[in-house]
Amino acid sequence: MLKLLVSGSYPLVDYVKDEIQKRRDSVQNLVVQEVSSLHILNHPNYINNDDILICGVVLAERLKKLNVRGYIVPLRVQTQDFIKALMEASKYSKKVCVVNYYKEFINEDKNYNEVKLKEILGLNIEQHVYTSAENAEEVVKELSKDTQNVIIGSGLIVNLAKKHGMKGILWYDQETIQLAVGIAFDILRAKVLERSNQKRQSIVMENFHDGIISLNQMNRIININQAAIKILELEQDKNYESNYISEILDKGELLEEILSPKEAKDSILKYKNKSLMMDKHIIHVDKTVDGNIIILSDIEALQQKENKVRRKLNKKYEGAIYTFDDIIGQSNQTIKAKMKAQKFARADANVLILGESGTGKELFAQSIHNASNRFNQPFIAVNCAAIPENLLESEFFGYSEGAFTGAIKGGKPGLFEIAHNGTLFLDEIGELPLSMQAKLLRVLQEKNVRRVGASTSVPVDVRIISATNVNLIEGVRSKEFRMDLYYRIAVLNLFLPDLNKRKEDIGLLLRNYTNKNYKRLSPIIDKYFDSLVSILESHNWEGNVREFENTIERLFAYIGPDNEIEENLIIEYLEESIKENEYLLYETQSINETFQQTMKEIEVLKIKEILEQTNGNKKEAADILGISRSTLWRKMNEFNLK
């Protein structure tokens, strides 16, 4: 807080305060304080470095000899002020007493002397001196014995003259007071700006992630921020200002580079088993070197920061980017699956998507999310088979600080917390171990998550969309998948047709993939479209759309940059592209067979469940299942249900 001190007596102090009040709004939070000259002389340390004192010139000279701190602005009696005071005094008497503090006012240092003034103004001028307020009282009292005397002096003298029935004239003019107060406020505003700049510099220094060291021309430290102290492994609480840089750094290439007269940019240097990157900027003032600015970065920290940035940039694309418009197909099976999924999007129940590998389960999951009321909330996708079993719990539910060795400071939220208010897509859910299934079930039931190592739970609101290409019912029977978890995740079931059952979509898929990824090849595909589609439709697509896109990608690689190609050659390329995938048939055959059985068993269970719910009412059951009564009767006969 800035402080402006005023030393003097009435009426001078009042005049000074009036001028201060006119300018006070230009300096916020300014403290104005009146203080006696005697107090300052007896307590010179009362004035701090940033304080400003307005006082008489003699007091100012005495304070300077005492090396008093702060800024002293003397009220100097200008020649024109003194002449005005003498002329004013001549109106009352020819006998004028000039009373000054500590020494006579008119002396050889002035531009005028007593003899000349007497000649010019026709006055009888006497000079008197006082050394203290008490002594001033004695001097004025003695002068009051001659009733013809008029006194000129400071505020104290004028005030005493009035007290003893004499005429007192203040020798400070209004302009002199304005000048002194103006100088004081110029200093105050400069101090405010200096403090503001220092604060800004401090904020920049301490919030800069890199280490910064400011050195003068002698390589003494002017400033060093906490980041630099940490990077250089220095003592945290020690003051390093004014130290030579060579006093705090170990000898080595870093110190040599800093002491070098050359600038440096992105220098890689070793220091205390660390690799540091250093920039060195030389400061020039009036073509003279005035010091250096050193910027240090820990390369390992830079790499970690880069990885963090990459993860954050990737998170921009981690949401649900696909909608139902991205699902390509005109077959009845595709249209029915889309319509059913659109209905599921309007609900908020958990969804289980069943389909062979490559049928687009995540594509449907993202589309459901984007068409739901949660579309502007997170969509988090996780492959349950890709996470090591010992990390599943911490990935799903997060962990608190200190939960285990290597736990990051502050802990880490799990997938459920990250997906709060949104959708969590659990792909390959059938691969979860039983121990994890039980914990997942508890979260789905209680809608609360407890981090690993935490004592309290966090409420979460998450919609679960699961996906699988294995027979979960068989897993329930073999005790490899919990039945209670199955019914939690399979409130709504979506069956995705494999590509072999919707081959009328192949032509549309071919055109869409070409236009989206290889538009320049569209004329070639259009030219031989019928021949290509005929071959593609005749193939048994065990890998579904994923295998289809893999095959088309390989075909386009064979075509290369050619814009012209014969039909027999492109047919040969396509057939070769298809054959390269056939070795996978034997590996996937058993999975495909069990999948068809899975869908049939789930359908049977669902029909049984609804029939029990409706007490055997076929019409009501058909309405709930969304099928006709005749279809329900046919399926009951097919599955031997009574």
What are the chain's domains?
2-76+178-188 (3.40.50), 79-171 (3.40.50.10660), 208-302 (3.30.450.20), 316-497 (3.40.50.300), 504-641 (no CATH)
Average pLDDT over residues 165-193: 88
Average pLDDT over residues 574-596: 64
Average pLDDT over residues 527-540: 92
- Which of 34-38, 66-70, 326-330 is predicted most confidently? 326-330
Q: Going by C-beta distance under 8 Å and a sequence separation of 6 or more, which residues neighbour residue 367?
A: 320, 322, 323, 324, 326, 327, 341, 345
**Percentage of the chain surpassing pLDDT 90?**
42
Residue labelled with tokens 């911490």: 394
Q: Where residue 461 falls among pLDDT bands split at 50, 70, 90?
A: very high
- Comparing C-alpha atoms, which of 39, 94, 57 is closest to residue 171? 57
Q: Going by C-beta distance under 8 Å and a sequence separation of 6 or more, which residues neighbour residue 638?
A: none
Q: Where residue 309 falls among pLDDT bands split at 50, 70, 90?
A: low
Average pLDDT over residues 541-546: 89
Dist. CA 562–CA 575, nearest whole Å: 18
Average pLDDT over residues 562-582: 85
Average pLDDT over residues 139-148: 88
Q: What is the pLDDT of residue 308?
A: 56
Q: What is the pLDDT of residue 585?
A: 55
Dist. CA 413–CA 242, nearest whole Å: 45
Average pLDDT over residues 438-457: 90
Q: Where residue 313 falls among pLDDT bands split at 50, 70, 90?
A: very low
Residue labelled with tokens 């034997």: 586
Dist. CA 606–CA 624, nearest whole Å: 11
- Comparing C-alpha atoms, which of 383, 332, 340 is closest to residue 364? 340
Structure token digits, residue 561: 């940059």
Q: What is the pLDDT of residue 396?
A: 93
Q: Where residue 140 falls among pLDDT bands split at 50, 70, 90?
A: very high
Q: What is the pLDDT of residue 405?
A: 65
Structure token digits, residue 119: 């000649």
Residue 450, phi then psi, degrees to nearest 5: -115, 120
Stretch among 257-266, 493-502, 633-642 having the lowest mean pLDDT: 633-642
Stretch among 53-57, 109-113, 361-365 having the lowest mean pLDDT: 109-113
Which string of b and e fits 404-425 if b means at least 16 CB within 10 Å?
A: eeebeeebbebbbbbbbebbbb
Q: Where residue 312 falls among pLDDT bands split at 50, 70, 90?
A: low
pLDDT of 449 over the 60 cut: yes
Dist. CA 484–CA 461, nearest whole Å: 20
Q: What is the pLDDT of residue 551?
A: 92
Q: Are 163 and 136 in contact (CB under 8 A)?
A: no
Question: Mean pLDDT across the chain, nearest whole number?
Answer: 86
- Which of 42-56, 134-148, 173-187, 337-351 is predicted most confidently? 337-351
Structure token digits, residue 244: 């030579």
Q: What is the pLDDT of residue 637?
A: 78
Dist. CA 514–CA 139, nearest whole Å: 110
161 CB-contact burial (10 Å; exposed 0-12 / middle 13-18 / buried 19+): buried
Residue 452 has what DSSP assignment?
B
> What secondary structure, in 3-state letters, does 236-286 show?
CCCCCCCCEHHHHCCCCHHHHHHHCCCCEEEEEEEECCEEEEEEEEEEEEC
Q: Where residue 364 falls among pLDDT bands split at 50, 70, 90?
A: very high
Q: Are 232 and 269 in contact (CB under 8 A)?
A: no
Residue labelled with tokens 């220095």: 234
pLDDT of 563 over the 50 cut: yes
**pLDDT per residue as tens digits for the range 244-257:** 999 999 999 999 99
Average pLDDT over residues 301-309: 66
Q: Comparing 148 with 534, which gets the higher pLDDT?
A: 534
pLDDT of 586 over the 80 cut: no
Average pLDDT over residues 323-344: 94
Q: Where residue 438 falls among pLDDT bands split at 50, 70, 90?
A: very high
Which string of b and e fits 115-138 if b means at least 16 CB within 10 Å?
A: eebeeebebebeebbbeeeeebee
Average pLDDT over residues 80-87: 87
Dist. CA 439–CA 444, nearest whole Å: 9
- Give the three-class secondary structure for 294: strand
Q: Comparing 372 with 310, which gets the higher pLDDT?
A: 372
Structure token digits, residue 292: 């250096």
pTM for the model: 0.48
Q: Where residue 207 falls among pLDDT bands split at 50, 70, 90?
A: low
Query: What is the identity of the amino acid at 583?
Result: Y
Dist. CA 84–CA 90, nearest whole Å: 10
Q: Comparing 10 with 254, which gets the higher pLDDT?
A: 254
Cis peptide before 413 (omega within 30 of 0): no
Virtual CA dihedral for 259, 263, 265, 268, nearest 10 degrees?
-20
Dist. CA 27–CA 414, nearest whole Å: 52
Break the chain down into helix, strand, coil percent, rounded to 5: 50, 20, 30
pLDDT of 504 over the 80 cut: yes
Q: Going by C-beta distance under 8 Å and a sequence separation of 6 or more, which residues neighbour residue 256?
A: none
- Give me the residues paired with residue 269 across strands: 276
Structure token digits, residue 552: 């088309």
Stretch among 241-245, 575-579, 588-592, 597-601 having the lowest mean pLDDT: 588-592
Dist. CA 393–CA 397, nearest whole Å: 6
Average pLDDT over residues 460-485: 92
Q: Are 215 and 292 in contact (CB under 8 A)?
A: yes
- Which of 187-196, 235-244, 363-372, 589-598 is predicted most confidently? 363-372
- Give the three-class secondary structure for 509: helix
- Compute how many other C-beta atoms are within 10 angstroms of the C-beta atom of residue 556: 19
Q: What is the pLDDT of residue 628?
A: 72
pLDDT of 627 over the 50 cut: yes
List C-alpha distances in Å: 238 to 103, 161, 226, 243, 405: 50, 59, 11, 11, 31
List C-alpha distances in Å: 420 to 196, 413, 432: 43, 11, 21
Distance of CA 468 to the CA centre of its chain: 39
Q: Where residue 75 falls among pLDDT bands split at 50, 70, 90?
A: confident
pLDDT of 505 over the 90 cut: yes
Which string of b and e fits 346-381 if b means at least 16 CB within 10 Å?
A: eeeebbbbbbbbbbbbbbbbbbbbbbbebbebbbbb
**Percentage of the chain surpassing pLDDT 70?**
90
Q: What is the pLDDT of residue 285?
A: 78
Dist. CA 331–CA 501, nearest whole Å: 9
Residue 324 has what DSSP assignment?
G
